[in-house]
Amino acid sequence: MSPRKELSDYSVGPDGLQRCWWCGDDEQYIEYHDKEWGRPVADDQQLYEKMCLEGFQAGLSWITILRKRAAFRSAFGDFEMEHVAKFSSTKVEKLMLDPKIVRHRGKIESVVNNAQRAIELRDEFGSLARFFWRFEPGKSQPLDRRSEMKAYRPESTAISKELKRRGWSFVGPTTCYSLMQAMGMVNDHLRECHRWEVIDQLRAEFTRP
């Protein structure tokens, strides 16, 4: 028998659908929850973008990053790795003046550095996706309560350690686990969220790179 759910574990939108608690009633958050979070991703550009945005989120709320995502995409050339890898120090200084993004020098410089490191990974493994999906954990029990959701797992710690060894920055175990959740490497929708079964099926049909 599943543990008794608490009201705070879920939110119910104006459409009457039950969702994970964290998206609340914010329309943009609901759209992200319903259309993106947890869907399996094998596209390198999308994975690089997700990792960059998760890095920007460190110390901030995800909704802050989500609301600035269009501005981030504009500032970083839609996160096209070859383009970002060539950003100069002058370009970084220009980005530091852009009020539409998070003006954190370390994080901006990290996006440039990580683009260079991502290209190296892609060249070595054939794709970023192939590198990341190597760390997929075995199937685990669905989450029934928000209190069961972890901040990191052994696999995210392993990803973090390997990326740091290769020169990446802003890739701690928690950031890497957020990436795992976002890219569908795990299904962390709560069991009674209307998206859990959808994501479970998408993961079953997904061809690992």
Per-residue confidence at 13, pLDDT binned at 50, 70, 90?
A: confident
Average pLDDT over residues 19-36: 94
Average pLDDT over residues 161-180: 98
| Cα 108 from Cα 48, distance rounded (Å) | 14
**Domains of the chain from N-terminus onward:** 41-132 (1.10.340.30)
Is 2 a residue whose pLDDT tops 50? no
Phi-psi sector, 167: left (phi>0), alpha (psi -120 to 50), beta:
left
Per-residue confidence at 112, pLDDT binned at 50, 70, 90?
A: very high
- What was the pLDDT predicted at 164? 98
Mean pLDDT of the chain: 94
Average pLDDT over residues 12-33: 92
User: In whole angstroms, how large is the CA radius of gyration of the chain?
Assistant: 17
- Whether 95 contacts 103, CB under 8 Å: yes
pLDDT tens profile 142-168: 999 999 999 999 999 999 999 999 999
pLDDT, greater one: 14 or 3: 14
Average pLDDT over residues 128-133: 98
- What was the pLDDT predicted at 139? 85
| Cα 154 from Cα 5, distance rounded (Å) | 27
Give me the active site residues, please: 32, 54, 62
Is 7 a residue whose pLDDT tops 70? no
- What was the pLDDT predicted at 3? 34
DSSP state, 139?
Answer: P
Is 23 a residue whose pLDDT tops 50? yes
Phi-psi sector, 9: left (phi>0), alpha (psi -120 to 50), beta:
alpha
- pLDDT > 70: what percent of the chain? 97
- pLDDT > 90: what percent of the chain? 90
- What was the pLDDT predicted at 107? 98
pLDDT tens profile 40-75: 999 999 999 999 999 999 889 999 999 999 999 999
Is 4 a residue whose pLDDT tops 50? no
Is 189 a residue whose pLDDT tops 80? yes
Q: pTM of the full predicted structure?
A: 0.93
| Cα 191 from Cα 183, distance rounded (Å) | 18
